[in-house]
Amino acid sequence: MITRFFAWWFNFSGWKVKGTIPPEIKKAVVIAAPHTSNWDFVYSLAAFHILNHKVNYLAKKELFKFPLKFILNATGAIPVERSKSHNLVDTIIQKFKDTDNLYLMIPAEGTRKKVTKWKSGFYHAGLGANVPILLGYLDYENKLAGFGKVVHLTGDKEKDMAVIRDFYKEIKGQNPDNFDP
């Protein structure tokens, strides 16, 4: 219901979906970039809904209380313990091992503010779970949401990240000054 409303708003606002998830890809870490606005959440979930794909994302377990719990569950949130004593990457790897189909959306920047270096957890989770990285994007300049190439990680982080950064270099977030791939 909530994602249906997001999809309505997405279409009403003039956005379009470009690209899709190849049918043979049943599990992937989906980079959500650029992540420069709270609207990114709405448009990302709308794009998945329009393509008829279920997506999951991580949310700290403390948020899973009434009434937010119902919204989080309805939109695909997975509760996680984010304290230092719990290894989030290992938790993600286990989630992939425990399921046959999982698209896990992760904002690689880790925040909506400008960062000069992306978090690396998405990379280590994809590598550890042996799942590809799907390059999801929101291009506010062209009102396009979608998916770029599928990156099968080689273990050479520098080489793999160069491919990922190259893809995102022309994509504009809602607040373009806050995005630095």
Q: What is the 3-state secondary structure (H, E, C) of 28-56?
A: EEEEEECCCCCHHHHHHHHHHHHCCCCCE
Task: Summarize pLDDT for 6-32 with one digit per residue, the tens.
Answer: 999 999 999 999 988 999 999 999 999
What is the chain's mean pLDDT, rounded?
89
Q: pLDDT class for 111, splitting at 50, 70, 90?
A: low
Q: pLDDT class for 37, splitting at 50, 70, 90?
A: confident
Task: Summarize pLDDT for 157-179 with one digit per residue, the tens.
Answer: 999 999 999 999 989 888 766 66
User: Per-residue DSSP letters for 148-181?
Assistant: EEEE---S-HHHHHHHHHHHHTT---SSGGG---
Least confident of 81-85, 88-92, 98-102: 81-85
pTM: 0.89
41 vs 17, more confident: 17
Q: How far apart are CA 176 and CA 172, in angstroms?
A: 5
